[in-house]
Amino acid sequence: MVKNNRLTEAEYQVNFSDIHPAYTNSNAAMVDANRCLFCYDAPCTKVCPTSIDVPKFIKQITTGNIKGSAHTIFNSNILGASCSKVCPVEKLCEGSCVFNLLDEAPIPIALLQRYSTEKAIAANWQLFTSKPSTGKKVAIVGAGPAGLSCAFNLSKEGVDVTIYEKESKAGGLMTYGIAAYKVTPESCEEEVNYILSIGGITIQYNTVLGKDITINELQTEYDAVFLAFGVGLARQLSVPGESLEGVVDAISFIYQLRSQGFSSVPVGDKVAVIGLGMTAIDAATQAKRLGAKEVSIVYRRTQDEMPCTQVELDIAKLDGCKIIWLAAPKEVLGVDGKVTQLVCNNMVLGEPDASGRRSPVATVETFTLDVDMVIKAAGQMPFDTLVSGSNLNNKSGKIAIEDKASTNLKGVFAGGDCVNGGKEVVDAVQAGKDGAKAILNFLF
């Protein structure tokens, strides 16, 4: 049965507590920081999409210069606090740490980054100042990681920025789309306020592109426009029974959990999650932590092709989620309009596609899962209608850009998920930096 309020408030707090707790004292951070070899031409820095000088910020920690450490991080990645909690560091900085070659644990770079950035935000250290206003005005659509990053880097140069955000809070994916045990809405709000404290940035909430404002209007009113509205449309399964009660998309499921609280989110006894990306993992683990008795993740390929990281997969397994490999939904069955079963095809991997990835092919064999809830997490789609209606060159709804940020419309730039279709938060931050650089070159 799908219902909310399955657990006590105390149980929710335990289930959704910080999955990677911060240091409880400075000595522990100092010990870890002093293990660093401070490599020349450090691989951890080279692999970071925002090029944070990792050896430098860790060295600053060892000398007690926490302000300097935070400045080093924020100068490359103003969302360094959030990224320290959600970045897939096992395939980025920590995965590139030379200690891996020595069969030793890598430096806990993310934890050290969190140590410095959270101290800066908590103390509201003003590490940056804006140049005097140049009189130039830029509109940004979307107050997510890409939009906030772009705004910060423009405001430092004296550009007045107005961000138009469709939600009632800023942060985008960080605030509404990531598991609550990784980042909290409160920490996201603190980070946004810290970014805004530099000055010169205004956010207009509850303002939707294509409804309340248009790109043409923004082009008329502002000297340049940066589009950073992300993606957010769930990919449909396109199978019979998809409209039955109890079939929901992962984006909406996580959004409700993040915006309305744990006890208000309905969850089933037996839940099936379709897909195995980061969003699928977040949906599955949170369903389990909300009180679901059984959670099965259905994925049409093998572990070798999974889009999530091994660390994320391990989280799901530790939470008791069952992984069903080489399976894809064929039909959703129900009684009285409510889902009761999920019929799946057994799959095999065929020949590699153009990207080299082997495509799954359905066999005639099927199996059936008894479920009362199905969560669709088979990927997200761009806002195709919105993009196409704005005369923007695009590739299946993803905005086409040149020179890292420029669109085909004069003075209109774009970055983040609305361009790449959905990558990591840290990639969006870098896209915002690229957008700011392109806009500054355009304006001056």
CATH number of the domain bearing residue 349: 3.50.50.60
168, part of any domain: yes
Shared-domain flag, residues 223 and 350:
no
Mean pLDDT of the chain: 96
Looking at the 3D structure of the chain, how many domains does it have?
Answer: 3
Residue at 73 is within a domain: yes
In a domain? residue 344: yes
- 339 phi and psi, to 5 degrees? -65, 140
- Phi and psi of 135, rounded to 5°? 85, -5
The pair of three-digit structure tokens given for residue 227, joined into one six-digit string: 């589009």
Evaluate if residue 215 carries a pLDDT over 80.
Answer: yes
pLDDT band at 173 (very low <50, low <70, confident <90, very high): very high
191-214 average pLDDT score: 97
pLDDT at 242 over 90: yes
Percent of the chain surpassing pLDDT 90? 92
Q: What is the DSSP letter of 131?
A: P
Is it the case that residue 309 has pLDDT exceeding 90? yes
pLDDT at 352 over 90: no
Spatial strand order of the sheet with 224-227 comes to 201-204, 160-164, 137-141, 224-227, 412-414
pLDDT of res. 35? 98
Q: What is the pLDDT of residue 433?
A: 98
SS3 state of residue 204: strand
- In this predicted structure, the answer to whether residue 301 has a pLDDT above a threshold of 80 is yes
> End of a domain among 335, 360, 379?
379
pLDDT at 229: 97
- Report how far residue 2's alpha carbon sits from residue 371's, in angstroms, rounded to the nearest whole number: 10
Q: Are residue 409 and residue 421 in the same domain, yes or no?
A: yes
Is residue 285 over pLDDT 90?
yes
The pLDDT value recorded for residue 389 is 85
What separation in angstroms does the CA of 182 have from each of 21, 84, 119, 361, 389?
9, 10, 18, 35, 36
Asked whether the predicted pLDDT for residue 351 surpasses 90, the reply is: no
Average pLDDT in the 61-69 region? Answer: 98
In a domain, 7, yes or no: no
pLDDT band (50, 70, 90) for residue 385: confident
Q: How do beta strands 358-370 and 224-227 pair? A: unpaired
Mean pLDDT of 149-166: 98
For residue 40, is pLDDT > 80?
yes
pLDDT of residue 63: 97
Q: What are phi and psi of 105, to 5 degrees?
A: -65, 135
pLDDT exceeds cutoff 80 at 232: no
Domain range for 261 is 234-379
User: 171: which strand partners?
Assistant: none
Q: Quick check: pTM over 0.85?
A: yes
Q: Which helix (H) or strand (E) holds 385?
A: helix 384-388
Evaluate if residue 355 carries a pLDDT over 80.
Answer: no
pLDDT value, residue 167: 96
Report the distance separating Cα 202 and Cα 33, nearest Å.
37
Q: What is the pLDDT of residues 316-345, one digit of tens each?
A: 999 999 999 999 999 999 999 999 999 999
Q: Is residue 352 within a helix (H) or strand (E), and if so which, with residue range?
A: strand 338-352
Domain boundary among 356, 379, 402: 379
Flag whether 6 is in a domain. no
What single DSSP character describes residue 137?
Answer: E
379, 398, 430 - which closes a domain: 379
- Asked whether residue 416 is assigned to any structural domain, the reply reads yes
Give the pLDDT score at 409.
97
The CA distances from residue 333 to 250, 287, 341, in Å, are 19, 21, 5
**Total residues found in the chain within this entry:** 444
106 Rama sector, left if φ>0, alpha if ψ -120 to 50, beta otherwise: beta
Q: In terms of domains, do 333 and 226 share one?
A: no
Q: Can you give the pLDDT at residue 1?
A: 85
Tell me how far apart the alpha carbons of residues 230 and 227 are, in angstroms, rounded to a whole number: 9
Using CA of residue 122, residue 128, residue 133, residue 138, what is the dihedral sign? negative
Residue 375 and residue 241 share a domain: yes
Is residue 4 situated within a structural domain? no
> What is the secondary structure of 142-191 as a DSSP string?
--SHHHHHHHHHHHTTT-EEEEE-SSSSS-THHHHSS-TTT--HHHHHHH
Q: Which amino acid is at 405?
A: A
CATH of the domain at 55: 1.10.1060.10
